[in-house]
């Protein structure tokens, strides 16, 4: 049991260290893109399936409520939270359109999509990215396993170099929290653009 615990946390630390060393510039660019959208009166849309849906919901809450500082609420919507919309689209059309139809309904040019898929192959997330791009909505992808089909579709790719879903998700929530902190810093604490 102790060996499993030790291996898991050491693997998690190692994968995070590699990811953050390789992606600091892209993380900063992601935060700047989101902050600029908020400044312009636009919103952040987030989507994912399973654990990635939970991450989307978690991060939307950090923006809407607050993260680490007292500040005004920021407009972020997790597209995985309305069961009536999801089941209606899934039943009447297909689950592949669960996020893209919502983007068509509430998205607008200048918004940002944060698309989360550990494989980069989730059909409904890929369709969301395609629709978003067609509408002038920039897309940031959080992926793993090489980025899959999403890798070439998004404006900014934050790919975790791992094939282990749990380790990928651990990096995703950490990078999500860092982006929240950076956005707060840019908007409310006078960040320089370094």
Q: Is the pLDDT of residue 189 over 60?
A: yes
- Rounded mean pLDDT of 57-78? 97
- CATH number, residue 91: 3.40.50.10490
pTM (predicted TM-score): 0.95
Please indicate, yes or no, if residue 43 is contained in any of the structural domains.
Answer: yes
Q: Average of pLDDT values for 93-122?
A: 98
Look at residue 179 and tell me if it is in a domain: yes
**pLDDT at residue 73 above 90?**
yes
CA angle 77, 101, 90 (to 5 degrees): 100
Whether 174 is in a domain gets the answer: yes
Residue 194 placed within a domain: no
Q: Which residues contact 190 (CB under 8 A, 6 or more apart)?
A: none
Q: How many CB atoms lie within 10 A of CB 192?
A: 6
- Give the integer Cα–Cα distance in Å for 185 and 8: 32
15-25: pLDDT as tens digits: 999 999 999 99
- Whether the pLDDT of residue 62 is over 70: the answer is yes
Residue range(s) defining the domain that contains residue 78: 2-188
pLDDT at residue 92 is higher than 80: yes
pLDDT at 190: 72
Q: Considering the chain, what is the average pLDDT of its residues?
A: 96
Looking at the domain assignment, is residue 84 inside a domain?
yes
**pLDDT, average across residues 45-58:** 98
Number of domains in the chain: 1
From CA 156, how far away is CA 164, in angstroms rounded?
Answer: 22
Query: What's the pLDDT tens digit per position in 117-175?
Result: 999 999 999 999 999 999 999 999 999 999 999 999 999 999 999 999 999 999 999 99
Q: How far apart are CA 90 and CA 64, in angstroms?
A: 27
């Amino acid at each position: 049991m102790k060996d499993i615990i030790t291996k898991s946390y050491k693997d998690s630390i190692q994968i995070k260290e590699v990811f953050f060393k390789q992606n600091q510039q892209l993380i900063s660019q992601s935060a700047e893109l989101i902050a600029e959208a908020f400044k312009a009166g636009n919103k952040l849309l987030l989507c994912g399936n399973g654990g990635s849906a939970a991450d989307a919901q978690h991060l939307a809450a950090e923006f809407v409520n607050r993260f680490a500082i007292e500040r005004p609420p920021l407009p972020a919507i997790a597209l995985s939270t309305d069961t009536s919309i999801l089941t209606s689209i899934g039943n009447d059309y297909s689950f592949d359109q669960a996020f893209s139809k919502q983007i068509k309904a509430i998205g607008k040019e200048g918004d940002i999509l944060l698309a989360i898929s550990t494989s980069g192959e989730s059909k409904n997330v890929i369709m969301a990215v395609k629709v978003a791009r067609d509408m002038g909505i920039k897309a940031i992808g959080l992926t793993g396993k090489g980025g899959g089909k999403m890798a070439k579709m998004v404006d900014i790719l934050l790919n975790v170099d791992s094939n282990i879903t749990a380790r990928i998700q651990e990096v995703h929530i950490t990078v999500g929290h860092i982006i929240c902190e950076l956005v707060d810093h840019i908007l409310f604490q006078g960040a320089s653009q370094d």
